Structure formats: structure tokens, C-alpha cells
Structure 1
Amino acid sequence: MGTFRASFEFPPSPHAPGMARRLLGELFGAWALDGARHVDATILVNELVSNAVDHAGTDVVLELDVTASDGWLRVGLADGSTIRPVVRELDHSAPRGRGMQIVAELADRWGSEERDGGKRVWFELGSP
């Protein structure tokens, strides 16, 4: 398999997580990627985009970058906020706050980095 790359921009709207999930699904099909990690990748991209929409609080366009190469999938999401995500301690009484725990659990690797006055949060998935 060679290296495949795609990049998409979309507004930080309530529809953004669904758009990102559909785009990722289309890429899995177009690139003939192993479907075994498709569910994990879909959950993870949904969490990243949902967090950006809920917490970044910017009108800056979201940029989703997807790269697949040699059994690895890397997805990054850039937004205009400099606030980096953290994995919070689980609070069973809180109705929210589990997103980054899900990312930390499902991703083989994840992190964040500065990018053009904002940040990029990324995750990687290897072959199962």
C-alpha cells in the first residue's frame, strides 16, 4: 500500500462531527483500508470534532487531515484554540467529560501540537 492523504475544511457547527464521520467512511472505502479499525477511527474523529465544536469556541474553520500508510492511520484536527485537551479523571456524576478518555483508550497514540495560532489534536491507529 502506498501513502494516501486527504484534507478537508468545514465550519465548527453542530453538523461538523457527522460530516467528519461520513468523510472518514468515504476514505476508508476509496482507499480500500482494512475495516477492522474503522469503528475506532469513527469514534475518535467524532470525539475530536465534537470537542473542537464544543470547547474551541472559535469561528475559525476546522481542518481535518487524514493520512494512511503502511498499516497506520493518522488523523489530525486543527482549530483556532490554543487550549490543549487533557484526559480528566472519571467523574461518574458528570454528564460529560469522557471524550479524551475515549481517545486515550482507543488510539494507539495521540497528542496535540501548536499550529498557526491554534492547535492540532491528532491520533494514530495501527493494524489490529
Structure 2
Amino acid sequence: MRQLTTWARSTGHPGYSETLPREPESAATARRLVRASLSVWELDELADDTAVIVSELVANAVQHARRESIRITIERPGAALVRIGVVDFSRVRPKRRMPGPGDVNGRGLALVDELAQDWGTELLPWGKRVWAELHGKDEG
């Protein structure tokens, strides 16, 4: 079921996407794809935060989506801007919760909010994309 896609962006930087099974183990594959993309773009300083973010977004999709697959997207819309996304077949928008001190679950979007410069949800005709943006060091 895995399919890796590469496309050219107007910035001249490729984008990457991969369809993965909707299972917890896909977070590890998503982290590898993110780290490889950032390495190619020489934005390694974003690797740790981006890996945490993609893990949390995959975990949400695994828990709440409806079909057997999810899609990971990694784009570089600007020289120092990276946008990651997780696409699934549910149109229900994620909600950031404030977990209590003993809660094990519910911290994912709080982490995304803390680590990303911006994040949100795009509704699609058949589902949604939850995305996050991170900024690397400015060139020049």
C-alpha cells in the first residue's frame, strides 16, 4: 500500500508524500521521511521538532480517521519554511484539549502548538489535512 510521490514546487524544491497504513507503526516511517526530506534540504535543525509534530499528527489520524490509510506530505514552500501534513478520510477537525496532570492522552496538539510556528486544518471533499509549519534559519 505504500507509495512515495515526489513533485516540484514553484520554489524549485521538491515536495514529498507517502501513503501509509493507518496504524501506530506508521509514525516511525513518517519520522524517517521527514528527517530524510529535511536532510536533503539542509534544514536538519528542524528535524527533532518536526519528528515530534509528525508523530503527534499521525497518532491523531490513527486514532480518529475512518479508512485504512493516511497520507504524509512534506513541502518546502519557501527557502526556510517547511510544511508537514497528515491527510485522512475524516472531516472531523482535531480539537486541542487541556489534559489534567494525570492524563496520559490529549497532549499531542498542545505539543504541536508549542513546537510549530503555525498549524491548522484544511477540509477536503473527502477528509482533511492537518498541517504544521516550521521555520528554519533564514538564508543570507
- TM-score w.r.t. length of structure 2: 0.83
Equivalenced residue count is 126
Map 1:22-101 to 2 at 5 A.
22-29=32-39, 31-56=40-65, 58-68=66-76, 69-101=78-110
In structure 2, distance between residues paired with 1:78 and 1:34: 23
8 Å contact 1:60–1:80 — kept in the other structure?
Answer: no
Higher strand share: 2
The answer to which structure, 1 or 2, has the higher relative contact order (CA under 8 A, 6+ apart) is: 1
8 Å contact 1:60–1:79 — kept in the other structure?
Answer: no
**Unaligned regions of 5+ residues in structure 2, if any?**
1-10
Q: Displacement of 1:66 after TM fit?
A: 0.7
**Unaligned regions of 5+ residues in structure 1, if any?**
none
In structure 1, distance between residues paired with 2:41 and 2:113: 26
Q: Displacement of 1:2 after TM fit?
A: 3.5
